[in-house]
Structure 1
Amino acid sequence: MTVYVRSLETAVPPTVLVQTEARDVFAAQPGLTRLGSRLVSTCFDSAAIDTRHTAVQEMTMAFRSDDPQFFDPSTGLLLNPTTKVRNEFFAREVTKLFIESARAAVNACPDLSLLDITHVITVSCTGFFNPGPDYKIVRALGLDPAVQRYHLGFMGCYAAFPALRAAKSFCEADPQAVVLVVCAELCSLHVRTSNDPDTIMGSALFADGAAAAIITARNDPDAPALMQLDHFETVLTPVGEESMAWNIGDHGFEMVLGNYVPHIIDDHIIGALAPLLARDPSLRGLPYRDIRHWAIHPGGRSILDKVQTRLELTDEQLVPARDTLRDYGNMSSATVLFVLRHILEQPPVEGEERICSMAFGPGLTVETGLFTKLRQAATGKRAVQPEAASSLV
């Protein structure tokens, strides 16, 4: 049975972090050692990011509060709230992104009604609350209260793939199923000043955003699907368990992103792709570069560089991932869906438009997916913002 992506929509909060200005704020924090200061400049400047979005409105000089919690623009100091404060902020603000992106995905399928949705799968690794985002979406959109709800929490940057794979399984089990998948992350809640290289790297890379998709085996000729979901695979690399992790500390969640991660991916990326490509007889023995589209999670510039070199991909094939990194940064689980949206917005070309996609996360886990692009998504709708953006500092 063929399972389709009928819609794929994205959303970001309105406050924009300009990378060079954010760098200057982090570099000016008291307590940085000389090495820490150099690392801030190096990490921010080499990240290949121009702008990112944050739900923390305090991260702009134009915002004033009598009780700042994350950033005090009057002094330029980054503050260090407790995990409880950060998580309460998450529960309040991430709900907006979950609902906004979910509503956009549903509205992009005019032939489907709200009561057609049978399953809701939500994804996030940057906070917790219950009743959770799955519940909030059902209530806000007016879905059937009996809809099946699932939440995938704390998996990391690769979590969109388990969500899509679960949606595909639901649709294969029930041809009438309509699954709403929503990933939303507020990574910027957990940035802090530090001399620790992993913390500095996280502050230079991570951002906030959301993406939502409607998955179903039901296809309407008058509203054809964007993409079909062909195959998924999961691979754990034999090394790297300590090199990428996501832990909970007293003052937010703590990223472990060792500088050896790009080398691990370089060593094991071909082996990680082999099980996926073996699933499709038409791709066996095909040079990697001959697959037309590549939707690679931009965990960082050096990761993209390693993937491109090892798989002998062209600069053009890396444009969707590099553009997403440049404009939005790393939004954890939502990011690869932004990359897929970028590919779907491109005009159609002659021949079959296969997409090979991959994301990396704690473990070190490599999730891969093989898709087929069916039509061009409407342009001009990517990354909906609830209000006009405002610049940092």
Structure 2
Amino acid sequence: MEVAGAGEKGVEIHFFTLCLISLMVVVVVEFSRLCLQDISQLWLQLQYNMVSVMACLVFLLFSAILYFMTRPRPVYLVDFACYRPPSHLKAPFDKFMKHSRLTGDFDDSSLDFQRKILERSGLGEETYLPKTLHHIPPRPSMAAAREEAEQVIFGALDVLFKNTNLNPKDIGILVVNCSLFNPTPSLSAMVVNKYKLRCNIKSFNLGGMGCSAEVIAIDLAKDILQIHRNTYAVVVSTENITQNWYFGNKKSMLIPNCLFRMGCSVVLLSNKFNDRWRAKYKLLHLVRTHRGADDTAIHCVYQEQDAAGKTGVSLSKDLTVVVGGALKANIKTLGPLVLPISEQFLYFFTLVTKKLFNPKAKPYRPDFKLAFNHFCIHAGGRGVIDELEKNLQLLPESVEASRMTLHRFGNTSSSSIWYELAYTEAKLRMQKGHRVWQIALGGGFKCNSTVWEALTHVKPSLNNPWDDCIHNYPVQILP
């Protein structure tokens, strides 16, 4: 009896399973039939509206192609190098004053003025002057100026090529800037000839654009990199001291003699996707501000002849005021791109309050330390750094790289912001994701900004200009 009962129970179970499977088959078949009917109806509708469908597909395809063709290509900073002159070209204060006295071109008042400027300038005892100015009397000439340009430019480029293993023939874009020395053939042609660059290279030579020309050159290279695919751009920045030394007695024209020194930077940029993995930085923002429409601004840094017919660059007493105005104009554009929403809201709120309720209320100064980890302010002089430190409400450590660069290398014109970045790297302070703000200031008057983001924990490249002295810095600068 027990065996028979178990068999009946098994038969019931199999019967139930068979019914369930049959039901599932019926459901699947019916669903498939309905789906086929829907698909058939959809296909009929598509046939009737084929023109509309094809037009939609073509539009979507065209939009996708247009987006990928026109979107801004990322610009990577693969590496950079700064030239460090040989030690025999150092110009300590005593030697500088002794040579100035022996030349016989300066009266006692001018000598005393230069001594005071040197003492208050923020420069140290190890800045460099070109070989011709170490002679007594100095022997400036076109040949000597070319020699200085070749020395600093080729010296920096040799370091860059060695560090990156870059074949010079792979360079598709070359931009050279030097404000006061513009020979024929140009300095860019000199570079092409030295390294036998290819004949179809896009070569540019920028002159007369002052100490902010480096950012202008980067901007030009960036724009060309948006057009030409898979190529490299090299930007060379320097200033020539040899032919632009002032041998007169006008005080405002003697200041550059005390501040400007030898230097050069070269920067390797790329738009190649593969270079993202070896690059140091990625370019995030570039903002340029030109105040040349204002008469005071355009004359605050001005090349001219004095009453005796001697040529030099005059720095006016309005320089720090013009610097402050140019900076404010620049950060009005840059601020919304980089500041946190909280800072933008506070600025907007105080602006509305000032306009509607209290015209005497002071506008809110955004805290740029929340947007940037590092600052590279053009080392144009102690007063310039002080003015920007005050206007941006920066901490002493925020302007350390600028002050130390001024102390060690002097005002190297447009290349100074790269000596400052090299200082930050040498101190091992640049970490992945850090943002650095380079602020370049120059005659015209111009204030230009670049913002870079570190793609890795950046280590200093070989032959960093600070290799021989970074352990001595920062130093205490006397007031």
Q: Identify whether the pair has TM-score above 0.5, normalized to the shorter chain.
A: yes
1:226 is aligned to 2:280? yes
Answer yes or no: is the 8 Å Cα contact 1:98–1:133 preserved in 2.
Answer: no
Compared with structure 1, are the counterparts of its residues 253 and 90 closer, same or farther at alpha carbon in structure 2 (3 Å cutoff)?
farther
Aligned ranges for residues 337-356 of structure 1 at < 5 Å? 337-348=418-429, 352-356=433-437
Compared with structure 1, are the counterparts of its residues 117 and 351 closer, same or farther at alpha carbon in structure 2 (3 Å cutoff)?
closer
Aligned ranges for residues 241-320 of structure 1 at < 5 Å? 241-247=298-304, 253-280=311-338, 282=340, 285=344, 287-290=367-370, 291-320=372-401
Give 2:129's match in structure 1, choosing from 45, 51, 54: 54
Answer yes or no: is the 8 Å Cα contact 2:133–2:242 preserved in 1.
Answer: no
CA separation in 1, counterparts of 2:106 and 2:190?
Answer: 41
Shift of 1:106: 2.6
Q: Which has the higher strand share?
A: 1
1:26 is aligned to 2:100? yes
Matched to 1:383, the amino acid is P
1:154 is aligned to 2:208? yes
Answer yes or no: is the 8 Å Cα contact 2:82–2:465 preserved in 1.
Answer: yes
Report the RMSD for the aligned CA atoms in angstroms: 2.7
Q: Which has the higher helix share?
A: 2
Compared with structure 1, are the counterparts of its residues 206 and 58 closer, same or farther at alpha carbon in structure 2 (3 Å cutoff)?
closer
CA separation in 2, counterparts of 1:27 and 1:321?
Answer: 30
1:133 is aligned to 2:187? yes
Equivalent in the alignment of 1:382: 464
What SS is found at the alignment partner of 1:183?
strand
Aligned ranges for residues 110-259 of structure 1 at < 5 Å? 110=165, 112-220=166-274, 224-237=278-291, 238=294, 239-247=296-304, 253-259=311-317
Answer yes or no: is the 8 Å Cα contact 1:17–1:52 preserved in 2.
Answer: yes
Answer yes or no: is the 8 Å Cα contact 1:102–1:137 preserved in 2.
Answer: no
Deviations 1:99-131 (A, max 9, x none): 221232233223x43332111111112312222
CA separation in 1, counterparts of 2:232 and 2:241?
Answer: 29
Matched to 1:53, the amino acid is Y
Give 1:13's match in structure 2, choosing from 82, 85, 95: 85
Shift of 1:295: 0.9
Compared with structure 1, are the counterparts of its residues 258 and 356 closer, same or farther at alpha carbon in structure 2 (3 Å cutoff)?
same
Deviations 1:135-159 (A, max 9, x none): 2222222322221211111211111
Q: Which moved more, 1:182-191 or 1:7-16?
A: 182-191
What SS is found at the alignment partner of 2:141?
helix
1 or 2 for the larger relative contact order (CA 8 Å, sep ≥6)?
A: 1
Shift of 1:248: 7.2
Answer yes or no: is the 8 Å Cα contact 1:124–1:152 preserved in 2.
Answer: yes
Matched to 1:164, the amino acid is I
CA separation in 1, counterparts of 2:183 and 2:105?
Answer: 33
Alignment gaps of 5+ in structure 2: 1-72, 345-365, 468-479
CA separation in 1, counterparts of 2:105 and 2:202?
Answer: 49
Equivalent in the alignment of 2:403: 322
TM-score normalised by L of structure 1? 0.84
Matched to 1:56, the amino acid is K
CA separation in 1, counterparts of 2:305 and 2:141?
Answer: 12
CA separation in 2, counterparts of 1:148 and 1:268?
Answer: 31
TM-score normalised by L of structure 2? 0.69
Larger radius of gyration: 2
> Identity percentage over the alignment?
15
Give 1:2's match in structure 2, choosing from 64, 74, 77: 74
Answer yes or no: is the 8 Å Cα contact 1:270–1:311 preserved in 2.
Answer: no
